[in-house]
Every structure is written in C-alpha cells, then in structure tokens.
C-alpha cells in the first residue's frame, strides 16, 4: 500500500530548503519586516512574470479581491457578476464591499463561468464581471471581455488557482483590468503563511491599492484615504521571490501528472476526466474528476491510503451565509451537479508517475468491483 497525501508541501520545501532558508535569514538580519525590500523585489518580479505593469502585494487572496473592488469604488447599489462554481472568498469579497453578487452557472465542459449565460445576468446596476480560473483552467476570457466592453463593464480575474496559466498565449492576470492572486501555502505559488497580490496595468488603480493596503498612507502618518492593514509580510515576500523562478517548472510537472492521470483513467466507465478548452494552458491547481459513485470511491481511495478532496461540496448559493441572496436549489444545475459528483485527486509537482498509476489502479479496481453489484451497475449505466 502507498500513502499519497493530497498535497505535499514538505517535498517542495526540501527541494529548495537552502535558498528559502537564506532568503528568510536575510529578512531576519535586515529586520525590515513591514514593507521591506523583499516586498518590492517580489512585486517587480511577479508583475514581470504576469506580463503586467504593476503588482501590489497584500496579505491574502481574499484581500486582493476586496481591495480591487474598493479601488474601483464598487460598493452598495452595485452588482458584480461572478461564477456560481467557485470558492466562497470570491463572493465574500463582493459582499464585504457592500456590493451584490450575481451568480452565473458553470459551463458543463470546462466548469468555469458560462459566457453564454452572462448577458442575461447584466442589469443597469452591474459594474463588473469577475470570472474565476477554477482548478487552474483559465476562464473563457475573450467572450467575457467582449460582452463586458459592449456594456461598459469592468472585468477582473480571480486568479487564486491560476498562477502561470495562459489563455490564447497570454498570461493569466494580464487578461482583464485587474487580477487577484492568492499565495495560500497550497496554491501553485504558495507562501509559508498567508499572502496575495493584485496585478494591473492601471497606474491610478495600482497607486490606490498601495494606499488601501497600508492604512491609506503614502508618507507615514499622512492618511490620504481611509485604508486597511492588508500588507504582504516581508518574510512571505522573501519566500515567494525565491519560489517564483521555479513556478513554470512546477506547473509543467503538474501538467505531466495530469497527462498521466488522463491516460490511465481514460476508458474507465463512469469516470469523467477534465476537458481543457482550445488554446488554453491549464495549470492543474486541482485535478478534478466526476463520478456517480463519488462518496464510495472516495472512501475506497482513503482505505488504500490516497487522500482526496471536494472542491466544493456545497455551492455558494446553497450556503447558510448566502440565504440573503434569495437563490434556490435548482437555480444553477451545472454547479449543483458538480457538487454531487466531483472528486479532486492528489496533484502536486512532486507526485510521481508511480503514485498516479497507483491512484488510477485503485479507481479501476473500485469501478470493476462496483460494476459487479447491481445497484452500482444501474448508476454507471445511467451516465
């Protein structure tokens, strides 16, 4: 039996231990803990990586999203359209600004915001569209941006799962007015604690974001606007600066693991593997399959030593916290269908081909065994 964790941050740390330790020690020596040198250095490197003019480091992906909306003066009375199929932080950022989230169901093939349902969600109160590059697959940005421009709307990216991806050759983060990244430890580029960043080409907005994250001050004790304390920590910036040059290689290793899964799961009845849109570079933050007998398969993998996850088990519109939005079960059938049968398999750069083969073989055995019981058979026949 193999033991395969869902993510393995230790393996990556050990591969870069000397450089990371030196970068952290450097900050400790300099004691420039708040907006120190490494913050500016990382921001410059990350903006260059994303092909944008500016990057502004903040304390989380959630803060990056919220501060983008605030920098564009989005608040009470405004509507922001986003994906029904996303992590709660996307929607929290909208409601915490006092704006109203308007959800759009997922495309049944890519699981990202369905551009065909976008125009119907636009009202005179709509200010912006906030697609999410969910699981690491860039959203269908061309139709989204075309519709937005036609209606005079802003477009932002929730790129918290999309670091380094490309859409029609262009980098994620450079596809909209401003993009939010998370550096939560398990993300494709992860800090050793919380962290986030906004990237944009808009100088005025970049300037506002620098004020908003730092108590509204440019010069100490001179407060131009009412701001927040949402700064990126210098130690985290030093870790991120050290890890960034490895990101493309790590994403390539994730894609290799995904290709291994794709090959080995192909043809197993009742297992739907991810579909990647044309001319899109998926960075596989998550490798999500669909299967009708999901809970039993998850249990079987667990018994075989394989950790899995559900992203996400309850859609936002059915969460207690969002009862106020007035949505009902049945409003977003694709998103609800996904919640019922998705399963995230382990994926990270250090996942070996042998490990993928073991996971695939366990799934194969599970499906074969359940096909021998009539109840499971009727389920697999129906898909």
Ligand X SMILES: *Cc1c(COP(=O)(O)O)cnc(C)c1O
Under the rule (CB under 6 A), what is the footprint of ligand X?
A: 60-62, 86-87, 89-90, 132, 158, 160-161, 182, 184, 194, 196
Looking at beta carbons only, is 317 or 358 nearer to ligand X?
A: 317
Looking at beta carbons only, is 179 or 367 nearer to ligand X?
A: 179
Looking at beta carbons only, is 247 or 304 nearer to ligand X?
A: 247
Looking at beta carbons only, is 177 or 260 nearer to ligand X?
A: 177
Looking at beta carbons only, is 24 or 89 nearer to ligand X?
A: 89
Q: What is the DSSP string of 198-231?
A: EEES-HHHHHHHHHHHBTTEEETTEESS---B-B
Element (H, E) at 74: none
Looking at beta carbons only, is 4 or 89 nearer to ligand X?
A: 89
Smallest gap from Cβ 161 to ligand X, in A, equals: 5
Q: Which residue is at the shortest CB distance from ligand X?
A: 61
Smallest gap from Cβ 366 to ligand X, in A, equals: 28
Smallest gap from Cβ 282 to ligand X, in A, equals: 15
Smallest gap from Cβ 197 to ligand X, in A, equals: 10
Instruction: Please state the three-class secondary structure of 121-184 as a single string.
Output: HCCCCEEEEECECHHHCCCCHHHHHHHHHHCCCEEEEECCCCCCCEECCEECCCCCCEEEEECC
Rounded distance between C-alpha atoms, residue 162 and residue 281, angstroms? 10
Q: Any long-range contacts for 251-256 (C-beta under 8 Å, 24+ apart)?
A: 251/163, 251/164, 251/165, 251/188, 251/283, 251/284, 251/349, 253/349, 253/350, 253/351, 254/136, 254/188, 254/283, 254/284, 254/285, 254/347, 254/348, 254/349, 255/282, 255/283, 255/284
Looking at beta carbons only, is 56 or 300 nearer to ligand X?
A: 56
Q: Which positions ≥6 away from 19 have C-beta within 8 Å?
A: 242
Smallest gap from Cβ 31 to ligand X, in A, equals: 26
Report the interhelical angle of 234-243 vs 37-50 (nearest 10°).
40
Rounded distance between C-alpha atoms, residue 379 and residue 340, angstroms? 13
Q: Which of 294, 285, 286 is nearest to 339 (CA)?
A: 294
Looking at beta carbons only, is 87 or 366 nearer to ligand X?
A: 87
- Contact in structure between 118 and 144 (CB atoms under 8 Å): yes
Smallest gap from Cβ 283 to ligand X, in A, equals: 12
Smallest gap from Cβ 172 to ligand X, in A, equals: 12
Neighbours of 273 (CB within 10 A): 18
Smallest gap from Cβ 53 to ligand X, in A, equals: 23
Could you identify the residue written with the tokens 């998370």? Answer: 182
């Amino acid at each position: 039996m193999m033991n395969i964790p869902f993510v393995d941050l230790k393996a990556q740390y050990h591969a870069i231990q000397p450089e990371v330790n030196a970068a952290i020690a450097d900050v400790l020596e300099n004691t420039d803990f708040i907006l120190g040198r490494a913050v500016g250095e990382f921001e410059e490197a990350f903006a260059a990586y994303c092909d944008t003019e500016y990057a502004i480091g903040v304390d989380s992906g959630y803060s990056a999203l919220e501060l983008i909306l605030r920098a564009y003066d989005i608040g009470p009375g405004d509507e922001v359209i986003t994906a029904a199929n996303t992590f709660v932080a996307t929607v929290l950022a909208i409601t915490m600004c006092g704006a109203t989230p308007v959800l759009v169901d997922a495309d049944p093939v890519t699981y990202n915001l369905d551009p065909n349902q976008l125009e119907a969600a636009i009202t005179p109160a709509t200010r912006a569209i906030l697609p999410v590059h969910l699981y690491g697959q860039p959203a269908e940005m061309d139709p989204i941006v075309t519709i937005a421009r036609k209606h005079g709307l802003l477009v932002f990216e929730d790129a918290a799962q999309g670091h380094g991806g490309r859409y029609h050759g262009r980098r994620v983060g450079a596809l909209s007015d401003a993009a939010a990244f998370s550096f939560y430890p398990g993300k494709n580029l992860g800090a050793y604690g919380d962290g986030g960043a906004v990237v944009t080409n808009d100088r005025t907005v970049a300037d506002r974001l620098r004020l908003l994250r730092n108590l509204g001050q440019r010069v100490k004790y001179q407060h131009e606007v009412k701001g927040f304390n949402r700064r990126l920590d210098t130690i985290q910036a030093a870790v991120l600066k050290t890890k960034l040059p490895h990101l493309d290689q790590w994403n390539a290793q994730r894609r290799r693991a995904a290709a291994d899964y794709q090959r080995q799961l192909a043809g197993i009845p009742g297992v739907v593997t991810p579909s990647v849109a044309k001319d899109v570079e998926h960075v596989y933050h998550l490798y999500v399959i669909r299967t009708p007998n999901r809970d039993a398969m998850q249990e079987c993998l667990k018994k075989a030593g394989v950790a899995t996850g559900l992203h996400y088990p309850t859609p936002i519109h059915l969460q207690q916290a969002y009862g106020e939005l007035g949505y009902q079960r049945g409003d977003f059938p694709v998103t609800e269908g996904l919640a019922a049968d998705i399963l995230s398999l382990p994926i990270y750069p250090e996942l070996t081909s042998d490990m993928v083969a073991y996971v695939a073989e366990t799934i194969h055995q599970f499906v074969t065994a359940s096909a021998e019981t009539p109840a499971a058979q009727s389920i697999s026949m129906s898909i």
